Amino acid sequence: MSNRQITIAIDAMGGDNSPFKTLKGAEFFSIYNKNVRLLFFGNHENIIDVIERNKLNISNYEIVDCKENVSNEDKPNTILRSRKDSSIYKGLEFVKDNPYSGFVSAGNTAALMILSRLILGMIPGIDRPAICSDIPNKKSFSLMLDLGANVLVDSSNLFQFALMGYSYFSIIDPKRVPKIGIINIGTENNKGLEFLQEAHDKLSNSFLKNNFIGFIEPNNITSGECDIILSDGYTGNIILKTAEGLSEFIISNLRNIFKKSYKNKIAFKLLENDFKIFKDKINPEKYNGATFIGLNGISIKSHGSASPLAFSYALKKCFNFINNNLNQKIIQNFKDL
């Protein structure tokens, strides 16, 4: 662990049920990370009222008052011209000017992407950031990108996603030789849209050709056969939200089954430990917090509907990025490719 002062800038106003959600999540996070400085950006009066009314016990925090807020209805022009006193804008400005810091928001994804690119800038050689997160599989985990930053991409974007994913993976799991795949409707080389086939050709003829396994279908995402999964943001976001919905459906149905009868309750007691392990492995809250990879700074996107507990996991992910200097390592690894 480093002795340097780590600061997490938090968009206190973004997402559903905020600022309570973000502040309660910060309370969960601060229980185990009392030395981390938390900087809340948002309406000062509102934040103080929520903390006092709910008797939240948050360690080592400050509040930066912001008069504006970015709504989900705001257009890009409005975000760029009229939201300079918003929690997202000011939080990202803080991260740009302060080392050992990162930003977490559950707010407007488009606004976070636009302002992150504008304020933090891009890694040289990267055209667009991608939302990247780890997802569980049968063996351990895979990285998937893009999960919603870019609705439309071309083959060059997908190739850059592969480079960023490869660089990131080599840092977080250096012992594994990662396998790279592209999500498609089939595994045959002649299937899918033209930009997917072009990306396939680029990867097949690059220095990553020995890591590239070709196209993979969505039903094989959790098989563990692919470590870095590439997609356009539209497809990736649909896959992610479908997986989250299925996870909730499975857990809730299992819970109802075990409550049906006294006999089922006894069966649950016998299987309780195994059930907890299974639930933990597929729990979407545990995987909340996706990184905008490709930026010259740390910007983490939490789900807008995340619970306080899920938001605390996004804060934990941001802390790990800062504490392990992962973003600078990604930048350096990318330069060395």
Which tens digits make up the pLDDT trace of 123-141?
A: 888 888 999 988 888 888 8
The pLDDT, as a whole number, for residue 47 is 96
The pLDDT, as a whole number, for residue 281 is 67
The answer to whether 1-126+294-325 and 128-287 have equal CATH topology is: yes
Average pLDDT, integer, range 66-93: 82
203 CB-contact burial (10 Å; exposed 0-12 / middle 13-18 / buried 19+): buried
Q: Is residue 154 scored above 80 in pLDDT?
A: yes
Q: Is residue 18 scored above 50 in pLDDT?
A: yes
The pLDDT, as a whole number, for residue 103 is 97
Alpha helix locations (H) across the chain? 20-32, 44-53, 76-82, 87-97, 109-120, 155-172, 194-204, 233-259, 262-282, 308-323, 326-336
pLDDT, tens digit, 9 for 90 and up, residues 274-293 = 777 666 666 667 878 889 99
Give the CATH number of domain 128-287; options: 3.90.1820.10, 3.30.465.10, 3.40.718.10, 3.30.2130.30: 3.40.718.10
Q: Which CATH superfamily is domain 1-126+294-325 in?
A: Isopropylmalate Dehydrogenase (3.40.718.10)
Q: Determine contact, residues 122/294, Cβ cutoff 8 Å.
A: yes
Pairwise CA distance, residues 14 & 24, whole Å: 14
Q: Is residue 50 scored above 90 in pLDDT?
A: yes
Average pLDDT, integer, range 242-255: 80
Q: Percent of the chain at pLDDT above 70?
A: 96
- Between 196 and 277, residue with greater pLDDT: 196
- Domain limits of the chain? 1-126+294-325, 128-287
User: What 3 state SS string does 160-229 have?
Assistant: HHHHHHHHHHHHHCCCCCCCEEEECCCCCCCCCCHHHHHHHHHHHCCCCCCCEEEEECHHHHHHCCCCEE
CB count within 10 Å of CB 133 equals: 21
CB count within 10 Å of CB 319 equals: 20
Average pLDDT, integer, range 193-217: 94
Question: Which run of H or E residues covers position 141?
Answer: strand 141-145
Q: How confident is the model at residue 3 (pLDDT cuts 50, 70, 90)?
A: low
Q: Is residue 58 scored above 90 in pLDDT?
A: yes
Q: Is residue 1 scored above 70 in pLDDT?
A: no
